[in-house]
């Protein structure tokens, strides 16, 4: 008897691609959803470049987070689901519902389809954004913490992730019918690219390598390697103790943007010669935020807020061992350079 089929939503994404790769390498058959099936060829080429020819063990189905069509068919016959797909806009949305509705409604569509298909467990990719925003703690954030959605300054993305995860737990509690849920809450995901699609974290490193950030704001965030986040998804999918639990995925203490810049310069040498470790004064960031919605949403609420988080639970319960943050950042830069994705910059 072969390995069960696993459904991975959002197969064209950075993390989803690595989850598919890890599953195929572990011997599973994979079904994945895409809004545009035309991207299947790019996914197969990326997997092949990583040393994995998927063949018939990978099937692609068309489905959209904002529509019912396709989800039931995608889930039928699958024993596990990794719900990785989530909307993320590079620019600040005009209204927060542009992110909140697809995140929450899409999560509920996937959970309903999984329940109706008799899936045993869904692993939801949430985010540290659902745990550590809207307030400051004097201790590391843990899985018992939740982002304060009542904070008027909270950006749309952390609000969308928080409300989507809350909706998932409520659904399983009230309507799950025995469906198990495990949630992975990654910090900023870095590491090697499988193809040219760039997540927000990867775009940050790209901008730094191109010299597009002559100085960096006083922001800090966690770093974790995409390969380790994929590994944690597989552990959460299979480990009996992971049912109905949350797991923070972080490689260690949070880093300032200046520390990230210094790591890139140290690890990449001349290739990081345009990376600036100068720090922007807070007043200047706030001034720019008066004219930039993106700066106002992303930078100002978290400016100068110290924070960190603990992945002790994932390590103790699931035996998860993440790579050092510096390795993840170096792998990001190395793959951007190898794929020819670092431009001339300024």
Q: Which residues are catalytic?
A: 161
What residues have CB less than 8 Å from 72, skipping those under 6 apart? 113, 116, 117
Distance CA 179, CA 322 (A): 28
**Side-chain-facing half-sphere of 31: CA atoms under 13 Å:** 20
Which pair of structure tokens corresponds to residue 148? 């304060």
Q: What are phi and psi of 104, to 5 degrees?
A: -75, -50
What residues have CB less than 8 Å from 31, skipping those under 6 apart? 5, 6, 7, 8, 58, 59, 60, 61, 74, 78
Distance CA 189, CA 127 (A): 10
Identify the residue whose tokens are 């959209």: 64
Measuring CA to CA, which residue among 97, 105, 92 is closest to residue 200? Answer: 92
């Amino acid at each position: 008897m072969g390995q069960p089929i696993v459904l991975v939503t959002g197969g064209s994404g950075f993390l989803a691609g690595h989850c598919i790769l890890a599953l195929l390498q572990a011997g599973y058959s994979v079904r994945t959803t895409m809004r545009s099936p035309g991207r299947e060829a790019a996914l197969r080429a990326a997997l092949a470049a990583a040393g994995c020819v998927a063949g018939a063990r990978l099937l692609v189905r068309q489905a959209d987070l904002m529509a019912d069509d396709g989800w039931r068919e995608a889930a039928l016959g699958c024993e596990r689901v990794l719900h990785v797909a989530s909307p993320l806009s590079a620019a600040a949305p005009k209204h927060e519902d542009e992110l909140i509705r697809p995140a929450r409604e899409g999560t509920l569509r996937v959970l309903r389809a999984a329940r109706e298909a008799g899936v045993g467990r869904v692993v939801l990719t949430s985010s540290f954004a659902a745990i550590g925003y809207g307030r400051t703690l004097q201790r590391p954030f843990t899985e018992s913490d939740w982002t304060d959605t009542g904070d008027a300054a909270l950006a749309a993305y952390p609000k969308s992730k928080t409300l989507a995860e809350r909706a998932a737990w409520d659904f399983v509690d009230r309507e799950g019918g025995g469906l198990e849920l495990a949630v992975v809450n990654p910090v900023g995901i870095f590491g090697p690219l499988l193809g040219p699609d760039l997540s927000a974290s990867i775009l940050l490193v790209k901008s730094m390598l191109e010299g597009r950030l002559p100085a960096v704001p006083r922001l800090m965030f966690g770093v974790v390697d995409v390969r380790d986040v994929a590994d944690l998804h597989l552990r959460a999918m299979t480990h009996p103790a992971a049912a109905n639990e949350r797991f923070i995925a972080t490689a260690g203490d949070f880093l300032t943007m200046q520390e990230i810049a210094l790591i890139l310069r140290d690890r990449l040498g001349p290739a990081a010669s345009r990376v600036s470790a100068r720090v922007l004064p807070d007043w200047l960031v706030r001034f720019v935020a008066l004219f930039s919605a993106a700066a106002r949403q992303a930078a100002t609420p978290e400016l100068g807020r110290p924070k960190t988080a603990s992945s002790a639970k994932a390590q103790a319960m699931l035996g998860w061992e993440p790579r050092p943050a510096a390795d993840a950042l170096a792998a990001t830069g190395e793959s951007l350079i190898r794929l020819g994705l670092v431009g001339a910059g300024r």
